[in-house]
Amino acid sequence: MFSQVYCHHVRRIYDIHLKDFLKSWLPGGVFSTSIEELLRMTDSEVTQELSKAARDENHPGFDSARCIAKRVHFRLLYQRTREDLEKNRESGKAVFIAACKEFGESEVRHDTYIQKGSGLNFPVIARDGRIFSSLSRSETIEKVPVVAIDYVYISPVCRKRAETWREKNLTRIISSKEGVEE
């Protein structure tokens, strides 16, 4: 359920658009390191600025804000599969690089995440009072898969053309291992 909610491709692209907006709006592209200044910044202020930016084409965060506020977010172009990984461990990166060459970096986003660690290790108290690791007491818990995602997104402007391009070129891109450092 964790991956279905927190790693859902639509939620992830909204995070990327929000990061892009904050980088363009915040001084120096980052939040202040001053605790006092950081605590004065509220979600309401960010939301208000995002709304303002979505209506002002001259605002530096216009593109990202519009994607969020007008719901014209980038769409999923590629999601790696087990078969893709067998051909190319960096299939998502290869598709991202090839898509950037074809459509331009401003039209493509890449999102990759691999959960650190595996298994859910927590203490379990046995009936006799002894404490064990959950990993030693349950084969099921020991084999809970690690969450790993690799998404490539495309802007709505390029979507139809990109989907046709993907259908024609995906096998070649993944097989050629474009973008993979040897």
Q: Where are the domains of the chain?
A: 1-73, 74-182
For the domain spanning 74-182, the CATH number is: 3.30.70.1370
Residues 6+ away with beta carbon under 8 Å from 114: 146, 147, 148, 149
pLDDT for res 24 = 96
Residue percentage of the chain with pLDDT more than 70: 91
Chunked into runs of 10 residues, the chain (182 residues) has average pLDDT values of: 76 97 95 92 95 97 96 96 92 97 97 78 90 83 76 97 97 76 47
pLDDT for res 2 = 63
Q: Which amino acid is at 157?
A: V
Give Cα 105 to chain centroid, integer Å. 16
For CA atoms 158, 162, 164, 165, the dihedral sign is: positive
Rounded CA-CA distance 63/61 in Å is 6
CA neighbours within 13 Å on the CB side: how many for 90?
A: 12
SS3 140: helix
The model carries a pTM of: 0.80
SS3 83: helix
Element (H, E) at 9: helix 9-25
Q: Using alpha carbons only, what angle is made at residue 22 by residues 17 and 24, rounded to the nearest 5 degrees?
A: 95
